[in-house]
Amino acid sequence: MRERVLLIGGGGREHAIARALAGGDGEAELYACAGNRNPGIARLAAEFETVETTDPEAVVDYAEAIEATLAVVGPEAPLAAGVVDALEDADIYAFGPRRAEARIETDKSFQREFMAEHDVPGCPDFAVFDDPEAACEYVDAYDGDLAIKPAGLTGGKGVKVIGDQVTAEEGKAYIRESGYDRLVLEERLVGEEFTVQAFVANGEVRTAPAVQDHKRAYEGDEGPNTGGMGSYSDAARELPFMTAADYEAAVEIIEATVDALDGYRGILYGQFMLTAEGPKVVEFNARFGDPEAMNTLPVLETDFLDVLVAAREGDPLPEPEFAPMATVCKYAVPEGYPTDPTAGAKVEVDEESVARAARATDDSSGDEPRESAGDALLFYASVDERDDGIYTTTSRSFAVVGVADSITEAEEIAEDALAVAGEEGLHVRHDIGTADLVRRRIDHVEELRGD
């Protein structure tokens, strides 16, 4: 039977999921719905419907109308709204956690209390507050720096780290003025961050290579936190600043979490800080990372549909194969993102030239011929396609991904692709994936470890 797969969500991550499904052996007929019309997804799908994806009834209506046999939920907001529960009630299998299990992401106080209760390793010191004044007293009394985290979803933009982004006084002002009704205060973790994403179903866990995202808006890790400005992965499972044992320690934390969660399905995303004592959990997400999905799915050689069908059928999950290639992803975002983004600006993207740039990387007539051909990919994100063109929203616009044998080559390919795609009027962190930045990550961990 040909599967009719409904993809929910319209960002860069979902464009990467759409590509993974559409690029399979043809067994998937793809349908998609999102609040914005993502031109990349719309082109890959048999049909694209504009739907409010946090409205479970609207999603179920569309899923029933197209007779979906499977659904994949990309972003966290529909998970938090109970879209998976509603699809399940309508007898449609959705790859994603139900609302209760998605709390591992959507409620940071639940997440920390859950880790503590089940003795999941890698949990930092934390405390939960409903009263801002009590939280401020805790800041004053605490010996060391704290991370201040609203318990609910903030698109990755609500966390303030004392001693990094803010002083203790600014942190307390934030606690008093931000109006969040529940806060988690936790030990500031010092180290290098990395992500490990896992396919999870029926108690089984299959992990993907580590990725490093870049949360801060500006080069050199300055500026406000964003949803992620870009990311890289290496040809190995671990990143250049990690050992294979660091990667395995992170996998063990994910496995312990899945064991304790009992019945979780979908993607479990672990965000880790590689500290002097090894990986600690910064957070869990109940979905692929965005941008990280754009690193991981292009090198996934196993058909993603096979994973989804095995999950639904209760069959053993296939052991995913990943091409031993490095990837570098760079986002182009509206000027002013994330604090004051310019929405409604026209975006001109030259996709043809990106495809040509990919082929041109094979050209060895330059001064320094590259050793091997790479690939350049373009993913549309939170843009909206209208009759007269593509427009920015308040979030990230499009991403380019270079895929090659090394991070350095992948970075060059991503830059070439950006140059031809056209990034005018948009902001890019050009430092992501550069040799200099990766070297600094390695030096940082060596320094922490006293090597």
Which chain residues interact with ligand AMP by CB under 6 A?
124, 147, 149, 156, 159, 161, 186-189, 193, 215, 225, 271, 282-283
- Tell me the site size for ligand GLY, rule CB under 6 A: 8
Q: By CB neighbour count within 10 A (0-12 exposed, 13-18 middle, 19+ buried), where does 405 fall?
A: middle
Min dist CB 147 to ligand AMP, Å, is 4
Closest residue to ligand GLY in the complex (CB): 228
Q: Which tokens is 96 given?
A: 């994603």
CB 230, min distance to ligand AMP, A = 14
Q: Nearer Cβ to ligand AMP, position 143 or 368? A: 143
* Cα separation, 54 vs 58, whole angstroms: 8
In the bound complex, what is the minimum distance in angstroms from residue 285's beta carbon to ligand GLY?
Answer: 5
If the CB atoms of residues 285 and 382 are measured against ligand GLY, the closer one turns out to be 285
- Which residues pair with residue 399 across a beta bridge? 331, 379
- Nearest-approach distance from CB 176 to ligand GLY, in angstroms: 27
CB 191, CB 273: distance < 8 Å: yes
| Separation CA 84–CA 105 (nearest Å) | 15
Residues 275-294 touching ligand GLY, rule: CB under 6 A, are 285, 289-292
CB-wise, 93 or 380, nearer to ligand GLY? 380
In whole angstroms, the minimum distance from the beta carbon of 212 to ligand GLY comes to: 10
124 binds, among ligand GLY, ligand AMP, none (CB under 5 to 8 A by kind): ligand AMP
Provide the token pair at 292: 């990280």
- Residue 252's binding partner out of ligand AMP, ligand GLY, none, with CB under 5 to 8 Å set by partner kind: none
For ligand AMP, give the closer residue by CB, 52 or 125. Answer: 125
Nearest distance from residue 31's CB to ligand AMP, in Å? 31
The binding track of 144-173 with respect to ligand GLY, each residue x by CB under 6 A or -, is ------------x-----------------
Q: Which of residues 171-230 bind ligand GLY (CB under 6 A)?
A: 213, 228
Paired strand residues for 270: 196, 284
Least distance from ligand AMP to the Cβ atom of residue 132, Å: 19
Q: Which is nearer to ligand GLY, 186 or 292 (CB)?
A: 292
289 binding partner (options ligand AMP, ligand GLY, none; Cβ < 5 to 8 Å by kind) = ligand GLY
Give the nearest distance from C-beta 149 to ligand AMP in angstroms: 6
Nearer to ligand AMP, 4 or 149 (CB): 149
Rounded to the nearest whole angstrom, what is the least distance from the CB of residue 358 to ligand AMP in the complex? 31
Q: Which does 292 bind (CB under 5 to 8 A by kind): ligand AMP, ligand GLY, none?
A: ligand GLY
- Quick one: what does residue 159 bind among ligand AMP, ligand GLY, none, with the CB cut-off 5 to 8 Å set by partner type? ligand AMP
Tell me which residues touch ligand GLY (CB under 6 A). Answer: 156, 213, 228, 285, 289-292
